[in-house]
Amino acid sequence: MAQLSGPDSAEGRVLVVNAGSSSLKLRVLGPDDSVVASADLPAPRGSTDATLVADAIRGLGEVDAVGHRIVHGGTVFSSPIAIDATVIERLVALTDLAPLHQPKSLAALAAVNAVLPDVPAVACFDTAFHATLPPAAATYALPSEWRKRWDLRRFGFHGLSHAYASRRAAELLGRPAQGLRVVTCHLGAGASLAAVRDGRSVDTTMGFTPLEGLVMATRSGSVDPGLVLWLEEHVGMPPAELAATLEHRSGLFGLAGTADMREILEAAASGGAGATLARDVYIHRLRGSIAAMAASLGGLDAIVFTGGVGEHAPAIRELAVRDLGFLGIELDPKANGEASPDCEIGTGTARVRTLVVVAREDVQIAHEVRRVLGAGGRD
C-alpha cells in the first residue's frame, strides 16, 4: 500500500477535495494540519470545468495524497478506504442514495484523478461515522423484507464534522474520548446533531436522507410521512415536486422567506411575524433534539456548537439551551456573546461543559487519509 512520509517531515501534504452542490473546495494541509494552499471553484460539470480544476491543482504545488469527501457510503463503506477502480464502481452504484451529492463528488474525483493519477487517494464518508449506531437507533419500524431488500436504515450525515467536533472537544477538555459523552451540534445550511460516546456515534438526527431531523435553511426537517402521502394522493402533487419543495423551498426559507439566519434574527428582533415563527420553530426542534441526544447517551458531559450558525449566532446558542438547565447546561452570557474559535462558553460551575468549535472537515479528512495510508496522523 502507498504510504505518506512521516508526519514530522517536510512532506505529508494532503489535498482535501470537498465537492458541494455548486462549489469545489480544494485545501492542501501540511503535516501539522495547517492550510498551506487553497482554491475555490465551481463544481465541475464538463470538460471546461475539468480544465479549471487541473489548472487550480497545478497551482497548489505538489501533494503526497488526496482525500475526497464523499457524502454517502451506504452499508458498503463504514470507514475511509483507498480509492481504486472497484471502489469507484461501488460509489457509482450508491448514487441513488444521494442523487444530489454523489454525482458532484464523483465528478470531482474524476477531475482530480486526471491530474494526479499516481497520487494515492482516499474516500472519506459523511455516513461512516454513524456506522456505529446501535440497531435501536439505526432501524426504522418497517417490514423486515423492505429493510433487507433496499437497505432501509438511518444512515446519518455530517459525520466528518461530528467526528472532528467530538475529537476536538476531548482535546479542549483535556480528556480522553473514552468515557466522554458529547452532543455535537452541526448547525449550518444543513443541520444535524450527534450523540457521541467514547468517540463513537450512538445516535443522530438525520436518517435515510439528510431531510430527517432539524429544521434547516431550505430543508423541512422531519415531517409526518402521512402529510406527504396526503399531498400526493389528495392534491395530486408529483413526487418530483414534493422532493424539490421539501429540499429547496422549506425550512427557514419556507417559514420566513429567507434561508439566512442572520436576516431572520434581525427581523425577529424587530417583531417580524414570519421571522419570529421561523426562529421559534427552529429552536423548538433543536432544543428537543438536544435533550433526545442526551437521553441516548444516558447523561451528558459536554455540548459542542459548530458550523456557520453554531459558530456565529450566539442568540441561537443561548435560546437552544435556555430551558436545558435540568441537563446541567448553563451559559456564561459574556463568554457566549464574545465566543472566539475553539472556546468554552459555559459558566465555571455548570455540570456540563459548553464549547464552540470551528468546523474543520478538512482536518478530519486529512486525519483519515493519514490513518488509511499508514502515516500515523494526529489523534
Cα 32 to Cα 28, 95, 104, 364: the distances in Å are 11, 34, 29, 12
* Measured distance CA(157)–CA(229) in Å, rounded: 25
Helix H or strand E encompassing 40:
strand 35-42
* Measured distance CA(12)–CA(201) in Å, rounded: 29
CATH topology classification for 14-155+362-372: Nucleotidyltransferase; domain 5 (3.30.420)
Phi then psi dihedrals of residue 55, to 5 deg: -65, -40
**Domain residue extents for the chain:** 14-155+362-372, 174-356
Under the banding of pLDDT at 50, 70 and 90, the label for residue 20 is confident
Average pLDDT taken over every residue of the chain: 93
* Measured distance CA(136)–CA(123) in Å, rounded: 28
Judged on CB neighbours under 10 Å (0-12, 13-18, 19+), 146 is exposed
Q: Which of 167, 65, 75 is nearest to 121 (CA)?
A: 65
Per-residue pLDDT of 166-222, as tens digits, reads 999 999 999 999 999 999 999 999 999 999 999 999 999 999 999 999 999 999 999
* Measured distance CA(336)–CA(338) in Å, rounded: 6
337 pLDDT above the threshold of 50: yes
Phi then psi dihedrals of residue 349, to 5 deg: -105, -5
Sequence letter at residue 75: T
pLDDT of residue 11: 54
Per-residue pLDDT of 276-318, as tens digits, reads 999 999 999 999 999 999 999 999 999 999 999 999 999 999 9
Q: Give the DSSP letter of residue 106.
A: H
| 43 or 95, greater pLDDT | 95
Under the banding of pLDDT at 50, 70 and 90, the label for residue 375 is low
CA of residue 104 relative to chain centroid, distance: 16
Q: Which are the catalytic amino acids?
A: 126
| 3 state DSSP class of 75 | coil
pTM equals 0.94
Per-residue pLDDT of 59-80, as tens digits, reads 999 999 999 999 999 999 999 9
pLDDT of residue 369: 97
The percentage of the chain sitting over the pLDDT mark of 90, rounded to a whole number, equals 88
1 pLDDT above the threshold of 70: no
Domain 14-155+362-372 shares a fold with domain 174-356? yes
CATH numeric code, 174-356:
3.30.420.40
pLDDT of residue 46: 63
